[in-house]
Amino acid sequence: MPFLPIIFTNFSVQEGLFMSLKIVYKICCGIDVHKTFVVACIASTSKEGVTTYKSHRFSTYTKGLKDLLQWLLESDCKDICMESTGKYWIPVYNILEKGCSIVLAHPKYVKAIRGKKTDKKDAKWIADLFKHDLVAGSFMPPADIRQLRDLMRYRYKLTCFMSSEKNRLQNCLTVSNIQLGNVVSDTFGKSSKRILDRILENPLDTSFDIAPLIHGSIKDKIPELELAIDGYITPEQAGKLKIIKKHFEDLESRKTELEELILALASPNQQEIDLILTAPSFKNIFSAITVISEIGVNMESFPSAKHLCSWAGLTPTNNESAGKKKCLSGFPKPDAISSHF
C-alpha cells in the first residue's frame, strides 16, 4: 500500500493538530463570557490557510458591549460563537445580535482541555472550533418568543408558589384538626374560604352555623362539615393561617396581572394558538402559549421532527449496551413520537 501523507492545515496549542479540516468561517470570533467581563478572540484565516488571532477584553456594562460590537464590525467579523454561561450571555447576545450572526454553544461542547485554560485561551479555543464549524449551536427563537418564554416560565414559578402556600395552609388545618379537606374537594373553593374566614375571625369558636356560608352540592354535607370544623386552632396557627392566606391571594393577583401581559404579547400568534388548541387535551390557552414560547412558530429551525421532539424534551437519551437499545420507562421510543408530527 502506498504511503499517504497527512496534511496539517492548522495548529492549535490546546488540541494539538487540526488535521485536514475545512475552514468554514474565514473571519470569526470566539467569546468567553463571564459575569463582569468577556474575552473575545477574532480568528482571521488568509487564502494560504494561515490563521492570525487578536484578542481583547471588554466590560459587560452596556458601553463595553457596544464597544465589543464596534470592534467586531471594524474587523469585518460578523460570525460569532460564544458559550451560554448562566444568564450572563443574554445581555451580550442582545447587543451583538443587531449586527452579527451568533451561534450560542453549550459550555460542555466548547470546554477546553484541563490544564490549558485561561480566559484568552478559552476564547481562542472557541474560535478555533467555530472556524471549522465544529460547534453545534443551540436553538434561539426570535426576541419576542424569548420574552414570551421568560414570562411563561415566571408564570409557572408563581403557580408553584401558590401550590406551596396551599400545602402550607392545609398543613396548618391538619395540625389544628380542621378536616375540611376530608369533606370538600377544594380547600380553596368559595364555601371553604368563607368557612375559613369565619374560623379566623374567632379561632376559639368553631360551633357557629355554617349553613349560610356554603352553596352548591355541598349543602348536603352540612353535618359532616360541622364535624370537620370542630378543632382547636392556637393563636399562633391562626396568625400563620392569615399570613398564608394573604400571601396566596397576593400571588393570585400577581399571576392574573402576569397573564394579562402574556396574552398581550402572544396576540400576534393567535392563529398558531388556535391551531394548537384543536389538538386533543389542549383546552387551556396558556398551555398552547407554553408550546409556542418553547419551540417558537417557525418549524424550519428544526431539521426534522426528531430534532423538534428532542428540543421539547419528549425524546429520551440514547441508552444502548451490547447492541440492545433500552428505552427509559415512561417515555415512548423516538420513532413513535416523531410519527405524530
Q: Which range among 159-173, 220-234, 294-308, 314-328 shows the weakest confidence by mean pLDDT?
A: 314-328
> Which band of pLDDT confidence, cut at 50, 70 and 90, is reported for residue 115?
low
19 φ, ψ to 5°? -100, 115
pLDDT in tens, 237-262: 889 999 999 999 999 999 999 999 99
How does residue 155 score in pLDDT terms, banded at 50, 70 and 90?
very high
Q: Is the pLDDT of residue 340 over 50?
A: no
Rg (CA), the chain: 29
What domains does the chain contain, in order, with CATH numbers?
A: 8-138 (3.30.420.10), 144-267 (1.10.287), 302-341 (no CATH)
**Mean per-residue pLDDT, 70-99:** 90
pLDDT at 326: 65
Mean pLDDT to the nearest integer, 175-201: 83
Of residues 337 and 303, more confidence is placed in 303
Kindly indicate the confidence band of residue 119, based on its pLDDT and cuts at 50, 70 and 90.
confident
Q: Examine the pLDDT at 211 and tell me if it is beyond 70.
A: yes
244 is written with which cell numbers? 398564608
Q: For the whole model, what pTM was predicted?
A: 0.75
